[in-house]
Amino acid sequence: MLTLKDISARYDLSPKQARRYLESVSHLISSYCQRGPHNTTLVSQQAIPVFDRLTELLRDGLSLPAASQQISKEMNGNGKTDAHLTVDSWQTNGQPYRDELLGDLRAQVQDLRQERERLLRLLEESQLQVRQLMLPAPKPALSQQSMSRWVALRVALLGR
């Protein structure tokens, strides 16, 4: 069980913000909240996905009430109309949000693999060009004009 202090540390919030977040989704996670010693609020680990989604929606620019309503819609009205639905069923109902994220991640992985292959080909081509630049230039064939007389005589006599 997590206290509000734990939640505020986990999501980098002030204790007041953590309490406001908890109050905004309390109708969704009421079965996962308890009162502890000294009347502290305790939240079960099973409610963490709701807080994760809430912070994600807030980062996307939604207000706190709008984000709470969005989560409630995603959970099929849990806590308001369908009492038989729980946070656990929301997590395991093949939520469309998770499927969308997985599809996006798979597309990104495929793009990254293609980019990696392109960069590896470019690297190999560059290494080949560097190797070609490092080879010594071929020596020009000796012509009669560039040879000294003694070298010409040696070539003529010895054939080298």
Provide the pLDDT for residue 87: 52
Q: What is the fold, at CATH topology level, of the domain defined by 2-93?
A: Multidrug-efflux Transporter Regulator; Chain: A; Domain 2 (1.10.1660)
Tens-digit pLDDT profile for the chain (160 aa)?
878 888 888 888 888 888 888 888 888 877 778 787 887 778 888 888 888 888 888 888 888 888 888 888 877 755 443 434 445 554 555 566 677 778 888 989 999 999 999 999 999 999 998 888 887 766 666 555 667 778 878 888 887 6
Number of CB atoms found within 10 A of residue 87's CB? 21
Q: Which tokens belong to 128?
A: 């080949």
Identify whether the C-beta of residue 51 lies closer than 8 Å to the C-beta of residue 25. yes
pTM: 0.46
Residue type, 78: N
Domain ranges (residues) in the chain: 2-93, 94-132
Measured CA to CA, the distance from residue 72 to residue 80 in angstroms comes to 9
Provide the pLDDT for residue 50: 84
Provide the pLDDT for residue 156: 82
